[in-house]
Amino acid sequence: MLLNRDLSTIKKRRQGINVKVEQTVKAILDGVRENGDKAVKAYAEKFEGFVGYSFEIENTVKENADFVRILERAKMQIIEFHKNQIEKSWSMSKDNGVIMGQIVRPLKRVAVYVPGGTANYPSSVLMNVIPAKLAGVSEIIMLCPNPNDEVLMAAKVAGVDKIYKIGGAQAIAAVAYGTESIPKVDKIVGPGNIYVAMAKKQVYGEVDIDMIAGPSEVLVIADKTASPKYIAADLMSQAEHDKLARAILITTSEKILIDTEKELERQFSYLERREIIEDALRNYGAGIVVDNLEKAFELSNEIAPEHLEILTENPLGKLPKVKNAGSIFLGENTPESLGDYMSGANHVLPTGGTAKFCSSLGVYDFVKVSSYSYYPREILANFKDDVIKFAKLEGLDAHVNSIKVRFEVSSDD
């Protein structure tokens, strides 16, 4: 039996702060802030084997025509979805002369972190860069310690402006504070290892970040009509990411759960990452049978999964039952893997239950909004007494004064 029958065994997944990592990252951040390029180079040599004089590299990759075609197709899907997220400035003029509104402006410069080495994700390049381009970001920097050809091709297709061959906490520090050769950015997005995540957390406030991403997770809600073959395949598609990945099945059918277990055993036996999959399923996988779909959605909303698949009769009709989920996949022909690459919806998603209050990455993450207002004197006069009383109640006499002085009668009047 691969899947646990008790959710409590996986709810306690390790998420505590690693004090040693926290201290190591702080030292790296302090070093880069104080010594700039010299520190970045020293850490890059120590942790990544960096050799060279310049961190910036030219994107001279020899393109694979078929993969570029796939990238371009994915790009168009992502654009089609995300263009609906573009926010517009607005203004309103009232009959009394008051003018109010808000201005939406893009961030000037953004850094996209892309893991290198054993994990290269060209799909994440597209998902992080394209919304920023749609928002109108002026300059997009990619950080990657060892970009392979596929990542470089994705960077070219997505429209990355500069590429720096550095990674780890030192890369985050470099773009958070700026160095002699690496510019300071307004925001850092993209996944990374525990050192990258900790660095992003510690530089927040100096710059903005997208989120602190944890191990991947999927939750499948299935009724008796679902295919155990599909369920097993989709649970494993997330389990293969990481030994800490979480894969959960909540079903109204005991038979579906039993048959899914059989399919898991059959299918993972021929998969290359079966050792990772098996560890993830045994430690952080679960198979839960509930009395009805109402209970299934209640549990799902409490867990707030990164990915939620609904494999039931009339899956579209179940959508209103979902309150907390990063991205939702409806029906047996919409597997989560489609969302990772080609559906167009973003795959940079909240994990670890943060879907209760956090959203997927989008165009809105790369803009800032400023409000404005204009009041004629006679309208200010209409509000002045209430503003003064309000300010007095809060004990802010300078606020009171800023209103009163505008209505004082001077000797020159």
Residues 6+ apart with CB under 8 A from 162: 56, 139, 140, 141, 142
- Phi-psi region for residue 304, left (φ > 0), alpha (ψ -120 to 50) or beta? left
**The two structure tokens encoding residue 185:** 């950015």
CA distance 280 to 246: 7
**The two structure tokens encoding residue 332:** 């047996």
If we measure between CA atoms, which residue out of 223, 231, 144, 140 comes closest to residue 186?
A: 140
**The two structure tokens encoding residue 313:** 């009769």
Cα Rg, the chain, nearest whole Å = 26
What does the H/E/C string look like for 243-300? CCCEEEEEECCHHHHHHHHHHHHHHHCCCCCHHHHHHHHHHHEEEEECCCHHHHHHHH
Residues 6+ apart with CB under 8 A from 299: 7, 250, 288, 290
- As a dihedral over the C-alpha atoms of residue 278, residue 283, residue 289, residue 295, rounded to 10 degrees, the angle is -130
Q: What is the SS3 assignment for 231? A: helix
Active site residue 399: no
Of 261, 306, 332, 336, which is the active-site residue? 306
Of 307, 309, 336, 347, which is the active-site residue? 307
Q: Would you say 261 and 3 are in contact if contact means Cβ atoms under 8 Å apart?
A: yes
Q: Which residue has the tokens 């059989």?
A: 262
Active site residue 82: no
Number of separate helices (H) and strands (E) present in the chain: 15, 14
CA distance 351 to 302: 13
CA distance 379 to 382: 5
Q: Which residues are catalytic?
A: 306-307
